Amino acid sequence: MDYGNIESQNTDGLTEVIYDSGEIAAAVSGIDIVNLSDVNTEYQLIHRVIGAATNGIILRFNADTDDNYGNQYMAGSNTTESAYRSAASSWMYQSFSDVQSGRTNFAITDIHSISGLMHTVLTKNASSINGTTIDGVMLCGSNWNNTDELTDLEVLDLAAHSGIGIGSRFILLRKVVAATDTTRAGVMNVKGKMKYAWQEVYKTTLTGTSNGITISSLTGNTDVLYRLTMRYQNANTTNSITYLRMNNDSTANIYGCQFFEAYDTTVEATRQTQTGVNFGHAGTNVGTSSHSQIIIYGKSGYVRPMILTEAMEIGYGSSPTCVRYMDLNGWVYNETSTEITSMTITPSDTNGLDVGTYICLERLNL
């Protein structure tokens, strides 16, 4: 059956928004999200913090301030790679470094929680963004060694100095559990928006080579968050890279990046500015590929932060099983005033996107 706009609450298996702070109007020391339960065991927390003081950003469950948390992170900051373990900690990391006043922290945190077992957490973070400079990018695994039911979570500035500033925003999603939450409606063909859920707005699989694609009719100030996935098939023998650009903006040095990359047994970090987000790199062999996914905070008013994960040069050289590079990168689009209305994906070589290249853009309907 065809439907117009619908709300996603209690849709079997769907990941839906259950909390959205909106952009906060006054600086605070923390955000407390309550009324969680064992009914749902999978959550995703996405937040953009605008710093109001120099403080680290942390996460706690059930207001537990005891040393019941553990963290193991790996990170890249400028040209320095690092790893760190903190056992018996009183918090879980949500920022690699202190977020200074006026700077931006962007984090995506996946939570698996069920009483009777320890609660596990995986966080990706681009930290203390200032213009095109990202202080660090981090992947952190954490746990709460408490078997109680998770009923609330708090995102806090570490020093409790009202360091979470005006414009910060916190969004929590849950995966609906069918046994208790589901209302059956048969097959629904949604023609409008599915509110509170990720919804596909563009998808293509190329049937011929292409010099680039444009995704238009976006409303970045309304949609706020985008998730873009691409499997890139290389059509040429040159060292082809694809560039993702907002509003086709290729201004010199307007995109900033903190790279953190694994290559065979080597780990490397570096910081750059570019004319576009490096989104897919398939190397010098026809038929090699890359697989990339980027989360974009697209609303204007502040710089637009992004977190990119990708596997590159898959099938490189004579080895079809070779994955040559693995990246976790923080990106930022240093333009604050213009609404994002389109995205372009452009290869560095003419007709560099080959047959089979797959691109999918989703927005989070809030």
Domain that holds residue 352: 197-364
d(CA 133, CA 330): 10
Residues 6+ apart with CB under 8 A from 320: none
Pairing of strands 266-274, 277-283: unpaired
- Does pLDDT of 219 surpass 80? yes
Six token digits for residue 295: 């989360």
Lowest average pLDDT, out of 34-38, 126-130, 183-187, 193-197, goes to 183-187
On whether both 34 and 89 belong to a single domain, the answer is: yes
276 in helix, strand or coil?
Answer: coil
Tokens 């309550």: give the residue.
34
On whether both 222 and 139 belong to a single domain, the answer is: no
Task: Give the model's confidence band at 352: pLDDT under 50 very low, under 70 low, under 90 confident, else very high.
Answer: confident
Tell me the average pLDDT across 229-239. Answer: 84
Mean pLDDT of the chain: 91
DSSP 223: H
In a domain, 192, yes or no: no
On whether both 177 and 202 belong to a single domain, the answer is: no
In a domain, 266, yes or no: yes
Domain count, the chain: 2
Six token digits for residue 210: 């292409």
Q: Which pLDDT score is estimated for 276?
A: 97
- Does pLDDT of 240 surpass 90? no
Domain-terminating residue out of 181, 216, 247:
181
d(CA 62, CA 152): 5
On whether both 152 and 228 belong to a single domain, the answer is: no
Strand blocks (E) in 161-206:
169-175, 189-190, 194-195, 198-205
Task: Identify whether the C-beta of residue 343 lies closer than 8 Å to the C-beta of residue 211.
Answer: no
In a domain, 186, yes or no: no
On whether both 33 and 109 belong to a single domain, the answer is: yes
Domain-terminating residue out of 131, 150, 181:
181
On whether both 24 and 149 belong to a single domain, the answer is: yes
**Length of the chain measured in residues:** 366
On whether both 141 and 209 belong to a single domain, the answer is: no
On whether both 233 and 281 belong to a single domain, the answer is: yes
Task: Identify whether the C-beta of residue 75 lies closer than 8 Å to the C-beta of residue 138.
Answer: yes
In a domain, 190, yes or no: no
Q: What is the CATH number of the domain that holds 283?
A: 2.60.120
In a domain, 98, yes or no: yes
On whether both 176 and 303 belong to a single domain, the answer is: no
Q: Which pLDDT score is estimated for 241?
A: 86
In a domain, 86, yes or no: yes
d(CA 160, CA 27): 11
Name which of 119, 38, 1, 11 is nearest 365 in CA terms.
11
In a domain, 315, yes or no: yes
Q: Which pLDDT score is estimated for 1?
A: 40
Q: Which pLDDT score is estimated for 236?
A: 77
On whether both 226 and 152 belong to a single domain, the answer is: no
On whether both 262 and 320 belong to a single domain, the answer is: yes
Strand-by-strand arrangement of the 30-33 sheet? 30-33, 153-157, 57-61, 92-93
In a domain, 188, yes or no: no
d(CA 282, CA 159): 44
High-pLDDT (> 70) share of the chain, %: 91
Task: Identify the sign of the CA torsion 174, 71, 22, 36.
Answer: positive
Strand blocks (E) in 300-357:
304-314, 323-333, 343-347
On whether both 127 and 237 belong to a single domain, the answer is: no
Domain-terminating residue out of 148, 181, 214:
181
Tell me the average pLDDT across 316-342. Answer: 91
In this predicted model, which residue has the larger pLDDT, 300 or 317?
300
